[in-house]
Homo-oligomer: A and B are copies of this chain.
């Protein structure tokens, strides 16, 4: 099934305790499309880059057969740039610089040949833009969106409006608590699902993720990564792996959503092993499925006879 991905394409500057890079390919649409490309074909990216965007970085998408008909090039400015620095324990980061550049005027236009997309990933962009995407597509089977504290705090009404049109929301635990005004995650999940989405994933970083569907909860473990090199893009890689799997199998049953959460976790665990999207350009199918099996072993509860 075809997968439409809308989000940011960016350059990131990253400092971690293990090194730094001045400028490396980044952005939510980048991570989502690279990771999903290992699972399914017909990946269509919608985003915007500036006049400084390099041919080498275009080639990274091309090498993964990602369709770039929807990638606008705005010659009036530079590509969105973000710079951040991670703390010693990698769980916290400070933003050192944000230059929206051409992203500030981003107006997602969905090319004609993308409008019948069955699966849609709405990366973390302004909720009104996410809704604009949905206005341009025909009859998607499954829409997944990401958001962040920034939008919860500043554009809550628009966010709630968009939420009514998506099937699955993916957010992290602090965002879930903030959106629901509720410290207990299980109660927060109930409140958020009352806002529209019929499924919800709460990402908990080193503690794994929770998937809520109508009648059940699935608790996914985190991969025990010893050497996290750079956490940038882990959340988007999760979303890409998950959606890639759903689009590939065209199956949105709770059982298969569980599988998609683990595939997402697998891709996130690879993402953090190198700076930027480095590890996401050379994965093998065997590595992906081997790690899936590791997740199964990690959390297997033996029966009691």
Q: Tell me the A residues contacting B by CB distance below 8 Å.
A: 88-91, 183-187, 204, 206-208, 210, 216-222, 224-226, 228, 255-256, 258-259, 262, 289, 292, 295-304
- Chain B residues near A204 (CB, 8 Å)? 207
Tell whether, in the assembled complex, residue A224 and residue B228 are in contact, meaning their CB atoms are under 8 Å apart.
no
Tell whether, in the assembled complex, residue A259 and residue B304 are in contact, meaning their CB atoms are under 8 Å apart.
yes
Copies of this chain present in the complex amount to 2
- Chain B residues near A303 (CB, 8 Å)? 296
Sample of 5 A–B contacts (CB below 8 Å) = A90-B183, A186-B225, A220-B301, A258-B300, A299-B301
Tell whether, in the assembled complex, residue B184 and residue A298 are in contact, meaning their CB atoms are under 8 Å apart.
no
- Chain B residues near A292 (CB, 8 Å)? 304
How far, in whole Å, are A220 and B301 apart by their CA atoms in the complex?
8
Q: What is the distance, in angstroms, from A104's C-beta to the closest C-beta of chain B? A: 36
Tell whether, in the assembled complex, residue B224 and residue A221 are in contact, meaning their CB atoms are under 8 Å apart.
no
Asked whether A302 and B259 contact (CB < 8 A) given A89-B183, A184-B228, A204-B207, the answer is yes
Closest to A182 in B: B89
Closest to A253 in B: B302
How far, in whole Å, are A226 and B188 apart by their CA atoms in the complex?
10
Closest to A187 in B: B226
How far, in whole Å, are A224 and B189 apart by their CA atoms in the complex?
11
Tell whether, in the assembled complex, residue B301 and residue A184 are in contact, meaning their CB atoms are under 8 Å apart.
no
Asked whether A302 and B255 contact (CB < 8 A) given A208-B219, A219-B208, the answer is yes
Tell whether, in the assembled complex, residue A262 and residue B295 are in contact, meaning their CB atoms are under 8 Å apart.
no
Tell whether, in the assembled complex, residue B259 and residue A218 are in contact, meaning their CB atoms are under 8 Å apart.
no
List 4 other contacts, CB 8 Å, given A186-B224, A210-B224, A220-B299. Answer: A207-B208, A262-B301, A299-B301, A300-B301
Q: What is the distance, in angstroms, from A102's C-beta to the closest C-beta of chain B? A: 38
How far, in whole Å, are A186 and B228 apart by their CA atoms in the complex?
11
- Chain B residues near A217 (CB, 8 Å)? 224, 298
Closest to A87 in B: B183
How far, in whole Å, are A142 and B156 apart by their CA atoms in the complex?
55
Closest to A254 in B: B302
Among A187, A219, A255, A301, the most chain B Cβ lie within 10 Å of the Cβ of A301
- Chain B residues near A218 (CB, 8 Å)? 298-300
Q: Which of B89, B207, B210, B299 is A184 in contact with, Cβ under 8 Å?
A: B89
Tell whether, in the assembled complex, residue A219 and residue B299 are in contact, meaning their CB atoms are under 8 Å apart.
yes
- Chain B residues near A90 (CB, 8 Å)? 183
- Chain B residues near A225 (CB, 8 Å)? 186
Q: What is the distance, in angstroms, from A164's C-beta to the closest C-beta of chain B? A: 25
- Chain B residues near A299 (CB, 8 Å)? 218-221, 299, 301
Tell whether, in the assembled complex, residue A219 and residue B216 are in contact, meaning their CB atoms are under 8 Å apart.
no
Asked whether A226 and B184 contact (CB < 8 A) given A297-B216, A301-B259, the answer is yes
- Chain B residues near A208 (CB, 8 Å)? 207, 219
Closest to A88 in B: B183
- Chain B residues near A302 (CB, 8 Å)? 255-256, 258-259
Among A221, A255, A289, A296, the most chain B Cβ lie within 10 Å of the Cβ of A221
